[in-house]
């Protein structure tokens, strides 16, 4: 009887191996071991920028360099003395807001048409859109400048805003997002009598909100950091943007690097704050875009 009872007892699982929770924690440790040094490398330029902005010129150019700030806050005051910082900040804000608003309004419309509507020559036209991404933007500078000059828009906000209100990349990005949405939603709306514009505005566009937010963040960053076009089209210091104005702080024979770093840090704070506020939506929009189609 004892032998029968002992044979009826189910075998106990072998717990000598690592548990799933431990394996998961070890994998997390490996990920953090890679991400923490990478994040330090990414943050290091901003820390160095802050330290340099609080030094004197002799200390900033010393070899070997000093890693300690000297508390020279006068460099930030000199930025406002050397540049019309308020005017340039306003120009940059209006340019970035105008370009971002234009792309958020126009790019989803074109992307929805390429993704959902059927019309002759759609694939050929979309291929032409993608071909724009393969052309260096510097090649468009001369014709764009001639157009601005013929319109009398040199040294104006229109010249800064209008050429950047549409983006072929934004159309491609949102087209991929619209292709990933279920077509059953459109079919149900058509059965209820909704037209293409109504389907786009009330159904598809709200679902594409993460992609639109990702596009808005990218457009804001690109517009805020744009240097070449504002430097070409606006030569009046009061009509320049911050990126073009800060380039004027670089002298031909000598550059006051602490003042330049102070101005660059002040110019970077708004976009850093915008990305910190919208980073969750930005990452979600990029992750959901995919490569379908």
Q: Taking residues 34-46, what's their average pLDDT?
A: 89
In the chain, the percentage of residues whose pLDDT exceeds 90 is: 48
Using one digit for the tens of pLDDT, what is the confidence trace for 253-284? 678 899 999 999 999 998 888 878 877 776 76
Highest mean pLDDT among 73-87, 131-145, 273-287: 73-87
Is the pLDDT at 1 greater than 60, yes or no? no
CB 166 within 8 A of CB 102: yes
CA distance 86 to 240: 11
CA distance 14 to 156: 76
Q: What is the pLDDT of residue 16?
A: 55
Model confidence, pTM: 0.81
Using one digit for the tens of pLDDT, what is the confidence trace for 143-174? 999 999 999 999 999 999 999 999 999 999 89
Which of 25-34, 163-172, 220-229, 232-241 has the least mean pLDDT? 25-34
CA distance 128 to 53: 46
In the chain, the percentage of residues whose pLDDT exceeds 70 is: 86
Higher pLDDT, 257 or 289: 257
Is the pLDDT at 91 greater than 90, yes or no? yes
Q: What is the mean pLDDT of the chain?
A: 85
CB 284 within 8 A of CB 210: yes
Is the pLDDT at 4 greater than 60, yes or no? no
Q: What is the pLDDT of residue 293?
A: 42
Q: What domains, with CATH codes, occur in the chain? A: 27-72 (no CATH), 75-289 (1.10.3720.10)
Is the pLDDT at 17 greater than 60, yes or no? no
Which of 129, 118, 156 has its CA nearest to residue 233? 156
Radius of gyration of the chain, Cα coordinates, nearest whole angstrom:
27
Cα torsion through 98, 99, 105, 109, rounded to 10: 160
Phi, psi of 28 (to 5 degrees): -65, -40
Is the pLDDT at 177 greater than 50, yes or no? yes
CB 150 within 8 A of CB 186: no
Q: What is the pLDDT of residue 262?
A: 94
């Amino acid at each position: 009887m004892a032998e029968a009872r002992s044979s009826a007892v189910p075998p106990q699982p072998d717990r000598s191996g690592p548990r799933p929770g431990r394996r998961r924690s070890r994998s997390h440790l490996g990920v953090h071991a890679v991400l923490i040094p990478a994040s330090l490398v990414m943050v290091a330029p901003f820390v160095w920028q802050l330290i340099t902005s609080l030094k004197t010129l002799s200390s900033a150019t010393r070899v070997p360099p000093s890693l300690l700030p000297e508390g020279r806050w006068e460099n930030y005051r000199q930025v406002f003395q050397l540049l019309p910082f308020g005017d340039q900040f306003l120009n940059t804000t209006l340019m970035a807001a105008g370009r971002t608003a234009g792309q958020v309004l126009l790019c989803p419309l074109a992307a929805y048409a390429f993704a959902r509507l059927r019309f002759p020559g759609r694939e050929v036209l979309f291929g032409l859109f993608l071909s724009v991404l393969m052309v260096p933007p510097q090649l468009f500078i001369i014709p764009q400048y001639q157009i601005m000059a013929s319109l009398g828009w040199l040294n104006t906000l229109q010249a800064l805003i209008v050429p950047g209100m549409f983006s072929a990349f934004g159309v491609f990005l949102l087209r991929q997002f619209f292709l990933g949405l279920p077509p059953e939603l459109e079919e149900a709306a058509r059965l209820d009598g909704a037209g293409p514009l109504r389907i786009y505005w009330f159904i598809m566009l709200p679902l594409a909100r993460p992609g639109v937010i990702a596009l808005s963040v990218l457009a804001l960053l690109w517009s805020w950091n744009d240097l070449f076009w504002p430097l070409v089209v606006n030569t009046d210091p009061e009509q320049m943007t911050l990126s073009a104005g800060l380039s004027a702080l670089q002298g031909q024979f000598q550059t006051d690097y602490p003042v330049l770093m102070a101005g660059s840090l002040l110019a970077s704070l708004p976009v850093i704050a915008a990305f910190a506020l919208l980073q969750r939506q930005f990452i979600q929009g990029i992750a959901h875009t995919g490569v379908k189609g």
